[in-house]
């Protein structure tokens, strides 16, 4: 794996050797496509002006149909170009970090991992947490190994639906979002007997000590609030677990420092859980990864730099949280 110094030192030469040839080919295709779109729009505007002058209803109907065709065409070529970009460029960016990393534009984290994380629930019934998922989608899946740690991540969108009978007898269906954002799973190299979860503390900063009353309510059935001895950490997170001793064993002073630094670096609401032999991390409201715009040049350096940063952020979790430090052995 490239270190941070390697990242800044080698990225430019890697970009020129492995990315730039493909980017130039894609840029030619993008420019050609943009010219076609602009020409189509120009023709449409010309006909629109003529229709206003002639007050022709037939011409107006034709223009309406033409506008719909232009919109459909624009969406189609934008998606196809973005897909081609992802297939040709993102795998090469991924292997810059490690040759084991594999990218799948249409893949995503398994819903099994999402449920096992115990981070998000649709309801709580009779003291039991229910994670009901009726629609689970995602994209931009990357998996591999960095040193001794296996991991994977992707964007995901988890939703569930509810049904309600209205007064007129009809059934109203509503969709609710459980989570949308970045989801990461890695080997924690320890078999954890219970469950420990770390949630963003969005209350205490705004309502102060009153939040502590509500925090005592279990985030997951059977867990209890765990207070730790790091004030900066406590302002950003709240911790729940089945076992106080195991939670303190997992969340060491060093890990708390690293999580504070990670939260400050990403600036996103961060949800973390430790269960089985895995660590699960979810970042909500994370911007879509690896998306391009048809009217923006593929040769703009900032575009590729942003994609490098997305993968560097994910790979950096392993370094930031010292997941390669094998202080435990799985039993």
pLDDT value at position 123?
66
pTM (2 d.p.): 0.83
Average pLDDT, the chain: 84
Q: Residues with Cβ < 8 Å from 51, sequence gap 6 or more?
A: 59, 60, 63
Q: Picking from 116-125, 137-146, 148-157, 246-255, which range would have the lowest pLDDT averaged per residue?
A: 116-125
For the segment 53-81, the average pLDDT, to the nearest whole number, is 85
- H or E element in which residue 53 lies: helix 20-54
pLDDT value at position 217?
47
Q: Are 192 and 250 in contact (CB under 8 A)?
A: yes
pLDDT value at position 212?
44
pLDDT in tens, 200-221: 876 444 334 434 434 444 556 7
Q: Where are the domains of the chain?
A: 4-97, 102-289
Q: Residues with Cβ < 8 Å from 183, sequence gap 6 or more?
A: 109, 113, 114, 138, 153, 154, 155, 156, 280, 281, 282, 283
pLDDT in tens, 224-243: 888 888 889 988 999 999 88
State phi, psi for 126 to the nearest 5 degrees: 50, 45
For the segment 33-43, the average pLDDT, to the nearest whole number, is 89
């Amino acid at each position: 794996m490239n270190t941070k110094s390697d990242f800044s030192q080698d990225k430019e030469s890697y970009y020129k050797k492995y990315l730039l040839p493909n980017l130039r080919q894609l840029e030619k295709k993008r420019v050609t496509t943009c010219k076609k779109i602009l020409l189509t729009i120009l023709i449409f505007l010309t006909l629109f002006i003529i229709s206003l002058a002639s007050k022709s209803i037939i011409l107006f109907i034709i223009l309406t149909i033409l506008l719909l065709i232009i919109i459909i065409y624009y969406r189609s070529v934008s998606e196809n170009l973005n897909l081609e970009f992802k297939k040709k460029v993102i795998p090469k960016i991924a292997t810059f970090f490690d040759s084991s990393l594999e990218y799948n534009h249409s893949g995503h984290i398994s819903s099994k991992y999402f449920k096992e994380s115990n981070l998000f629930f649709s309801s709580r019934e009779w003291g039991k947490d229910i994670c009901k998922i009726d629609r689970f989608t995602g994209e931009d899946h990357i998996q591999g190994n960095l040193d001794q740690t296996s991991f994977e991540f992707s964007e995901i969108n988890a939703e569930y639906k509810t049904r309600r009978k209205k007064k007129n007898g009809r059934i109203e269906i509503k969709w609710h979002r459980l989570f949308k954002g970045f989801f990461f799973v890695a080997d924690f190299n320890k078999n954890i007997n219970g469950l420990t979860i770390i949630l963003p503390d969005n209350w205490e900063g705004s309502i102060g000590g009153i939040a502590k009353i509500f925090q005592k309510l279990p985030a997951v059935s059977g867990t209890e609030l765990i207070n730790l001895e790091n004030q900066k950490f406590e302002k950003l997170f709240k911790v729940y677990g089945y076992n106080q001793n195991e939670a303190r064993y997992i969340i060491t002073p060093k890990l708390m420092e690293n999580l504070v630094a990670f939260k400050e670096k990403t600036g996103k609401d961060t949800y973390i859980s430790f269960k089985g032999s895995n660590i699960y991390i979810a970042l909500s409201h994370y911007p879509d990864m690896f998306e391009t715009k048809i009217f923006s040049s593929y040769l703009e350096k900032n575009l590729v730099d942003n994609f490098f940063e997305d993968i560097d952020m994910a790979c950096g979790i392993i370094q930031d949280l010292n997941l390669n430090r094998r202080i435990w052995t799985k039993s």
